[in-house]
Each structure stands twice: as structure tokens, then as C-alpha cells.
């Protein structure tokens, strides 16, 4: 076993590794505890196992203080996450989710990994919700937990051979890495195995079915203890980096020869979670691993996943992601280990890569087959009917019912309405307008791509507001952008309620990372291309002061930019950023960051 220099003492209470090992193929006591109506919630070990089934136990944090004062139990509920490779979902599947959310908080949250979350599902209702998601032909298996998560793919439904192959690859990966145990069917479907009759998307059928009917015994890829940590993958087609490939554990970039995909360059070791002040944790961007012919891509992926399975840190979960394995082994030793697991398969040097932006191409576009697609901006990915605002939920439900067109959830949490024939365009526009869902043409370019993670009131880890805070902050930044004539500039703003980095703030031009109520660490200097890490500029800024801090940078950019360079290029030319991809640089970076955190640049807010 490879030992990590970041290894810290073994956790005293039952570790997640122990819980997985003793879980009887991810069963634990989940079935019994959900059947027991006297329990308002499940214990921590079940919550850990529940994640593999696609759900998290949460409580309404808006009610916490009041309920605690009244000596009431927390307001427990469950978040459930559906997976869909590449964000593809049929109108019928979407409508089933729309219907299910009436049994929860009455809204849907699109995720920035192209999935859908329902919040506020009560304990007694979770089984029915999972049952209905499965009957729609989708699944929640492996949406969370120490396994391969929803595989991301390019959102734009362009009808080219390379786009078709990219989507096929997301589905192949998704199928290969589903965990195999009938526990899922036993617990949520009363042992009824997933039936092909339920499946509306034949591409997803065979593996989900095979996984739920798998004979008991050791999982061929995951074994008894699964992976050390979550594992994330994405396929990206140049020049669009909508999937944010450098932030992923593994990414795949197709190389086209004579109009067909010859193979894929594979990158490894990206990942964003960190802890404030814990300098052995930090975000990393992915590095090129190798290029491999198309026929071998999924096998090569399995070799990468099993390398992480066997060499990842199983003692300290904070250092268990593959980014730390890659950093501690070094990319060359990591590559050699993956190659050793691929006997007879030739790998080649990674191809040169060039990406321009993580943004979605919003609005109407041609698909290339005579049909159109429309990418609709959804503020923070929250599909709700907002009083006095856009009625996203009604709009997307009516569109699905009226036109039965497939949707694609984008990595920027927007919705693409795909396969629209030209004669349906007016109907789409009319339905969107009827519910106040406006096209994004009038928005600043920064607003179109700004994203915040969920945070309060559902996320148990949030230290500050995020989804509920960023729109108001952008309301103050937009006029500054317009005043400075920067309304059409690609500038990436991202926010999270804690340093776990769900909103991918660490490669944004501006990343605001929650530390405490209304206090944020401010990172600056990533790139809208997603290929550079931002550096910590201010340890703590009040939410209300963010627009002023941002203005200072925007004014300097306007004054100093040369030849129309974008914000990211101006920053790179005139300032330093905090990227440190090698282990040696990592340690230097840690020391520098320690000095910085010690107060070199503490904002006036503190």
C-alpha cells in the first residue's frame, strides 16, 4: 500500500472505512430503520451508507435555533440526487421529478454535475421517491458516496460524430462503475429488480439492471470498502470546457482524425475540496496522464480507478481524494502504475489541449440536423415558481407536457431544450414568456455564468449563505460592470457556503468561500477557461463588502488591460496566482499560504 506523507492519526470512532466494510454490501440497517416509524431520523453510520444510494439526511437549518430553544427535535428530511450521464433527461422523466418535488420542498435543484436534487423529502416518503425515480428509467445509485459519481458530458446537443461519441462514453463510464449489489433493489424496490419495462432511455438500461440484480459477493471494481473517497469524471470537447475538466478526478478529451474519434487524452488529479486553515488540504487542477485509443478508454479508466482504490489514503478522509494520491505519488509514478494495470494496451503522450471557456452558450442555436436547441438560463439552478420572478417550474413542466422534448441539464445548472423543430420555436418562446422566463440577452455576461452552491438552509456543512446570497451580490456587481463598460466581458464569479468548493470557486476569476455567517474568503485570479487556480486575496470579507472589493479589481483591469485582453489574462500578466501543481511547489505553497493566512492580507472587515 502506498503511504501518504499527509497521513494523520487514525480516527477514533468507527471510521467510514469500518462502516463500509461491515455494511453487508451497503445494506447496513437502512431497511429496518426506514421501516421503523418511531425513528425521526437515522444514525450517522446509516447516513454514510445512504449516500451510496443517492441520499443525504439533512435538517432545516433555518429552523434549528428556534426548534432547539423549544426543545424540539431537528426538522429532519432527506435530499435525494438523481443521476443522468451528460445531463440527458426525457420530458417524461423530467415530469416525474416535477411531480415528486410536490412531495418535498416544491422545487428542484439542478446540480453543477448535471443531476437533479430534491430537498426536504420526509423519512416516510423516501422509498416512494426512489421507487418513482427508478420507474422513470433513471436512478439514484451512486449519485453520492465513495464511488464514481454522475459522469459529466458536453451539454450542447450538436449532431456531430464527436458529440455522439462523447455522450456514448459518459454512458459507458456510468455503466462500468455502478456499484454492484442487490442492496439497492432490496431496500428501495422491495427486492423487485429494475425492470426494462420501466426504462424509457434504453441506453441506460442494461447496467442499472445488472447492478441491481448482481449476485452477492465482492464488487468486481469496488471490493468491500469501495473507493477511499468520491470520484468524479467528465468528457469535454474542445474548445468548450463547460464541464470544468481541470476540476475533475478524471477527464476525457476526444481527438478527431478524418471526422471520427480516434482516441481520448485523459487528465487526472483535479479536485477542489479544502478546509480553511488546514494547509494540507487544497484544490488542485488536473494534469495530463496519457492518450489512448478509443477502444481502450474505459479499460484505462478502470485502471485509474483501481489505482486510486489501492493507493488512495484510507486513513485520513481529508486527504483521500485522488488529487492527493497523484500529488504524493507524482504524476510519473501514478502513470506507470496505471500502465502496469493495462497489459498489452498502448498509451501515448497526451495531445495538446486548448479550451476557451466554461460558459454555456445560452439562447437559440442550430444542432446540425435541421433542428434547434435553446439553452435557458436558470438562476442558481433552482427550478421553482418564484413570487414576482420567473416561474421556472411551471414553464419547464408546461413545455415538457406540450412538446415532449428532451432536456439537458448543463454543468452551469441551466436547461437546454433539445431537438426543437423550427416550427416549435415560437411555442417554446411563448411558454417561456408566459411564465416570465426571459432569455438572457439583457444580462451581463458575468451574471449568465455566476453560480453558487446550495448551502443554507439544507446543507449541513455550510458556514454561510451561498445560493441565497449570490444573486443579491450580483445585483450590486452588475451596475459596476455596466458603469465600467465590462458588461460583455467573460468574468467568472462563483460562491460557496464553505471551503468544500461545490460551486467550483477555486478556478473562478472571483471565488467567494464561506467562513462564517456573512463572511467569505475571497479568491481571485482563476480563469473563465477553468485552467488556473485562483489565489487567496482576502481571508475574510463581509458579504456586503464584496462588491466594493470586486470594483477595485475591475477598475484596475479597465485601466491596465491591453489589446482587449480578458480579465483572466490581465490578471495573469499583472498579478500572481496561487497554482502549485507539483508536490515540491505544493509544500512551498503551503508555507506561503500559511504566512498569508497569518494576516498579511486581512480585509478591513475583520
Which residues bind to ligand SF4, rule: CB under 6 A? Answer: 453-455, 459, 461-462, 466, 496-498, 500-502
458 counts as binding ligand SRM under rule CB under 6 A:
yes
Q: Which is nearer to ligand SF4, 109 or 163 (CB)?
A: 109
Q: How far is the CB of 107 from ligand SF4 (least distance, A)?
A: 16
The neighbouring-strand residues paired with 57 are 78
Cα separation of 473 and 489, whole Å? 18
The DSSP secondary structure of 421-466, one letter per residue, reads -GGGHHHHHHHHHHTT---GGGS-HHHHH-EE---TTT-TT-SS--
Nearer to ligand SRM, 424 or 507 (CB): 507
Which range, of 6-14, 30-38, 501-509, 512-520, touches ligand SRM by CB under 6 A?
501-509
How many residues does the structure list for the chain? 606
Residue 149 binding partner per list ligand SF4, ligand SRM, none, with a CB distance cut-off of 5 to 8 Å that depends on partner kind:
ligand SRM
Residue 54: DSSP 8-state: T
Beta-carbon contacts of residue 524 (< 8 Å; ≥ 6 apart): 509, 510, 511, 534, 535, 537, 553, 571, 575
Residues 6+ apart with CB under 8 A from 506: 247, 272, 274, 283, 523, 526, 533, 534
Is 374 designated active site? Answer: no
144 has catalytic annotation:
no
Residue 101 CB, shortest distance to ligand SRM, in Å, is 13
User: Could you tell which of ligand SF4, ligand SRM, none binds residue 498, using a CB distance below 5 to 8 A set by kind?
Assistant: ligand SF4
State the catalytic residue, choosing from 20, 123, 232, 494.
232
Provide the edge-to-edge strand list for the sheet that holds 116-121: 55-59, 76-82, 116-121, 108-110, 382-383
Q: Which of 101, 134, 144, 453 is catalytic?
A: 453
Burial of 239 (0-12, 13-18, 19+ CB in 10 A): exposed
Decide which of ligand SF4, ligand SRM, none touches 357; Cβ closer than 5 to 8 Å per partner kind: none
Q: Closest separation between CB of residue 497 and ligand SF4, Å?
A: 3
Say which DSSP state 564 is in: T
Residue 459 bears catalytic tag: yes
In terms of CB distance, is 285 or 432 closer to ligand SRM?
285
Catalytic residue among 113, 230, 309, 447: 230
Q: Is 314 a catalytic residue?
A: no
Q: Is 503 in the site for ligand SRM (CB under 6 A)?
A: yes
Q: What is the enclosing helix (H) or strand (E) of 167?
A: helix 161-176
Interaction between residue 322 and ligand SRM (CB under 6 A)? no
- From the candidates 323, 494, 502, 596, which is the catalytic residue? 502
Task: Choose the one of ligand SF4, ligand SRM, none that binds residue 112, judging by a C-beta under 5 to 8 angstroms depending on kind.
Answer: ligand SRM
Between CA 207 and CA 556 the distance in angstroms is 53
Q: Which of 115, 145, 157, 514 binds ligand SRM (CB under 6 A)?
A: 115
Kindly list the strands in the beta sheet with 451-452, ordered across the sheet, starting from the edge strand earlier in the chain: 451-452, 493-496, 510-516, 519-524, 535-542
Q: Decide which of ligand SF4, ligand SRM, none touches 54; Cβ closer than 5 to 8 Å per partner kind.
A: none
Return all residues near 117 (Cβ < 8 A) that are at least 6 apart: 79, 80, 81, 82, 108, 109, 110, 111, 454
Q: What is the 3-state secondary structure (H, E, C) of 401-421?
A: HHHCCCEEECCCCCEEEEEEC
Active-site residue (options: 209, 498, 529, 561):
498
Q: Does residue 167 touch ligand SRM according to CB under 6 A?
A: no
CB distance 204 to 120 below 8 Å: no
Identify residues 226-285 at the interface with ligand SRM (CB under 6 A): 230, 232, 247, 271-273
Query: Please, what is the minimum distance in Å from the beta carbon of residue 248 to ligand SRM?
Result: 7
Quote the longest CA-to-CA distance of the chain. 70
Secondary structure letter of residue 112 according to DSSP: T
For position 41 contacting ligand SRM by CB under 6 A, the verdict is no
Answer yes or no whether residue 379 interacts with ligand SRM by CB under 6 A: no
* Residue 504 in contact with ligand SRM, rule: CB under 6 A: yes
The minimum distance between CB 412 and ligand SF4, in angstroms, equals 16
> Any idea of the CA torsion for 420, 423, 429, 430, to the nearest 10 degrees?
-130
- Is 480 within 8 Å of 554 (Cβ atoms)? yes
R_g over Cα of the chain: 23
Active site residue 81: yes
Looking at the DSSP assignment, which residues form a beta bridge with residue 264? 254, 292
Query: Which stretch, 164-172, 433-441, 457-465, 520-528, contacts ligand SRM (CB under 6 A)?
Result: 457-465
Q: Alpha-carbon distance 95 to 2, whole Å? A: 47
Burial of 592 (0-12, 13-18, 19+ CB in 10 A): middle
Residue 496 binds which one of ligand SF4, ligand SRM, none, with CB within 5 to 8 A depending on kind?
ligand SF4
Q: How far is the CB of 580 from ligand SRM (least distance, A)?
A: 16
Residue 123 bears catalytic tag: no
C-beta of 114: minimal distance to ligand SF4 in Å?
A: 16
Smallest gap from residue 350 Cβ to ligand SRM (A): 21
Whose Cβ is closer to ligand SF4: residue 453's or residue 486's? 453
Name the active-site residue from 113, 149, 229, 323. Answer: 149
501 binds ligand SRM (CB under 6 A): yes
- 115 interface partner picked from ligand SRM, ligand SF4, none, CB below 5 to 8 A per type: ligand SRM
CB neighbour list of residue 584: distance below 8 Å, 6 or more residues apart: none
> Residue 119 Cβ, how far from ligand SRM at the closest point, in Å?
6
- In the list ligand SF4, ligand SRM, none, the entry touching 466 (Cβ below 5 to 8 angstroms by class) is ligand SF4
Considering only residues 177 through 236, tell me which ones interact with ligand SRM, judged by CB under 6 A: 230, 232
| Residues labelled as active-site residues | 81, 149, 230, 232, 453, 459, 498, 502
Residues that bind ligand SRM (CB under 6 A): 56, 58, 79, 81, 111-113, 115, 117, 149-150, 230, 232, 247, 271-273, 321, 381, 453-454, 458-461, 500-504
Amino acid at each position: 500500500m502506498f503511504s501518504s506523507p499527509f497521513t494523520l492519526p487514525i480516527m477514533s470512532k468507527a471510521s467510514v472505512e469500518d462502516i463500509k466494510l461491515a455494511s453487508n454490501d451497503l445494506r447496513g440497517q437502512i431497511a429496518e430503520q426506514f421501516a421503523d416509524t418511531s425513528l425521526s431520523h437515522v444514525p450517522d453510520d446509516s447516513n454514510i451508507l445512504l449516500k451510496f444510494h443517492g441520499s443525504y439526511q439533512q435538517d432545516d437549518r433555518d429552523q434549528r435555533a428556534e426548534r432547539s430553544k423549544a426543545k424540539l427535535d431537528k426538522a429532519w428530511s432527506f435530499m435525494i440526487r438523481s443521476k443522468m450521464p451528460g445531463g440527458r433527461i426525457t420530458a417524461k422523466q423530467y415530469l416525474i421529478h416535477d411531480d415528486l418535488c410536490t412531495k418535498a420542498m416544491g422545487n428542484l435543484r439542478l446540480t453543477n454535475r448535471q443531476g437533479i436534487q430534491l430537498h426536504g423529502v420526509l423519512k416516510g416518503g423516501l422509498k416512494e421517491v426512489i421507487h418513482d425515480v427508478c420507474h422513470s428509467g433513471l436512478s439514484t445509485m451512486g449519485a453520492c458516496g465513495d464511488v464514481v459519481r454522475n459522469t459529466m458530458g458536453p451539454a450542447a446537443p450538436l449532431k456531430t460524430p464527436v458529440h455522439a461519441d462523447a455522450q456514448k462514453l459518459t454512458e459507458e463510464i456510468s455503466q462500468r462503475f455502478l456499484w454492484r449489489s442487490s442492496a439497492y433493489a432490496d431496500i428501495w424496490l422491495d427486492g423487485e429488480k429494475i425492470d426494462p419495462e420501466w426504462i424509457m432511455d434504453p441506453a441506460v438500461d442494461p447496467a442499472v439492471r445488472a447492478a441491481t440484480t448482481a449476485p452477492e459477493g465482492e464488487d468486481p471494481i469496488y471490493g468491500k470498502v469501495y473507493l477511499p473517497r468520491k470520484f468524479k469524471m467528465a468528457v469535454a470537447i474542445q474548445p468548450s470546457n463547460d464541464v470544468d475538466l481541470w476540476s475533475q478526478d478524471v477527464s476525457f478529451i476526444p481527438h478527431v482524425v478524418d471526422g471520427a474519434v480516434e482516441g481520448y487524452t485523459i487528465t487526472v488529479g483535479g479536485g477542489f475540496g479544502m478546509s480553511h486553515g488546514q494547509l494540507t488540504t487544497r484544490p488542485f487542477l488536473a494534469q495530463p496522464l496519457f492518450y489512448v485509443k478509443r477502444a481502450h478508454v474505459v479499460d484505462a479508466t478502470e485502471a485509474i480507478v483501481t489505482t486510486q482504490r489501492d493507493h488512495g489514503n484510507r486513513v485520513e478522509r481529508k486527504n483521500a481524494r485522488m488529487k492527493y494520491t497523484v500529488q504524493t505519488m507524482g504524476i510519473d509514478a501514478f502513470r506507470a502504475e496505471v500502465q502496469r494495470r493495462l497489459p498489452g494496451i498502448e498509451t501515448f503522450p497526451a495531445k495538446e489541449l486548448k479550451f476557451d471557456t466554461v460558459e454555456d452558450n445560452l439562447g437559440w442555436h442550430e444542432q446540425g440536423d435541421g433542428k434547434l436547441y435553446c439553452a435557458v438560463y436558470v438562476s442558481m439552478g433552482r427550478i421553482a415558481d418564484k413570487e414576482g420572478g420567473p416561474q421556472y417550474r411551471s414553464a419547464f413542466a408546461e413545455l415538457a407536457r406540450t412538446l415532449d422534448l428532451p432536456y439537458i441539464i448543463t454543468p452551469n445548472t441551466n436547461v437546454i431544450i433539445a431537438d426543437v423543430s423550427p416550427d416549435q420555436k415560437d411555442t417554446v418562446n411563448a411558454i417561456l414568456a408566459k411564465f416570465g422566463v426571459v432569455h438572457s440577452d439583457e444580462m451581463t455576461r458575468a451574471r449568465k455564468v455566476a453560480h453558487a452552491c446550495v448551502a443554507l438552509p439544507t446543507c449541513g456543512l455550510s458556514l454561510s449563505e451561498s445560493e441565497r446570497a449570490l444573486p443579491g451580490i450580483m445585483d450590486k456587481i452588475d451596475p459596476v460592470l455596466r458603469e465600467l463598460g465590462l458588461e460583455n466581458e467573460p468574468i467568472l464569479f462563483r460562491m460557496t457556503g464553505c471551503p468544500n468548493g461545490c460551486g467550483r470557486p477555486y478556478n473562478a476569476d472571483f471565488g467567494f468561500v464561506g467562513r462564517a455567517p456573512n463572511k467569505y474568503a475571497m479568491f481571485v485570479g482563476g480563469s473563465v477557461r477553468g485552467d488556473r487556480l485562483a489565489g487567496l486575496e482576502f481571508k475574510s470579507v463581509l458579504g456586503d463588502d464584496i462588491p466594493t472589493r470586486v470594483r477595485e479589481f475591475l477598475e484596475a483591469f479597465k485601466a491596465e488591460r491591453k489589446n482587449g485582453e480578458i480579465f483572466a489574462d490581465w490578471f495573469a500578466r499583472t498579478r500572481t496566482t496561487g497554482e502549485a501543481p507539483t508536490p515540491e511547489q505544493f509544500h512551498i505553497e503551503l508555507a506561503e499560504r500559511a504566512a498569508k493566512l497569518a494576516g498579511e492580507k486581512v480585509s478591513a472587515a475583520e
